[in-house]
Chain A
Amino acid sequence: DIVMTQTPLSLSVTPGQPASISCKSSQSLLHSDGKNYLYWYLQKSGQPPQLLIYEVSNRFSGVPDRFSGSGSGTDFTLKISRVEAEDVGVYYCMQSIELPPLTFGGGTKVEIK
Chain B
Amino acid sequence: QLQLQESGPGLVKPSETLSLTCTVSGASITASGFYWGWIRQPPGKGLEYIGSRYYSGNTYYNPSLKSRATISADTSKNQFSLQLSSVTAADTAVYYCARQGVTIFGVVTGYHPWGQGTLVTVSS
Q: Which residues of A are interface residues toward B (Cβ below 8 A)?
A: 31-33, 35, 37, 39, 41, 47-51, 54-55, 60, 92, 94, 96-97, 99-107
Contact = CB atoms under 8 A, between A and B. Distances in A.
7 contacts: A47-B116, A48-B114, A51-B110, A54-B109, A101-B62, A101-B64, A105-B46
Nearest to A50: B114
A102 B40 CA distance: 12
A96 B107 contact: yes
Contacts of A103: 49
Nearest to B109: A96
B105 A31 contact: yes
B61 A100 contact: yes
B47 A92 contact: yes
Interface of B: 46-49, 51-52, 60-64, 96, 98, 100, 103, 105, 107-112, 114-117
A104 B61 CA distance: 15
A96 B96 CA distance: 17
Contacts of B110: 39, 41, 51, 54, 94, 96
Nearest to A97: B107
B112 A60 contact: yes
A37 B66 CA distance: 26
Contact of B108 (A33, A41, A54, A96): A96
A102 B105 contact: no
Nearest to B102: A96
A104 B107 contact: no
B116 A48 contact: yes
Contacts of A96: 100, 107-110
B103 A100 contact: no
Nearest to A104: B47
Contacts of B51: 100
A79 B115 CA distance: 27
Contact of A48 (B62, B64, B115): B115
B111 A107 contact: no
B64 to A, nearest CB: 7
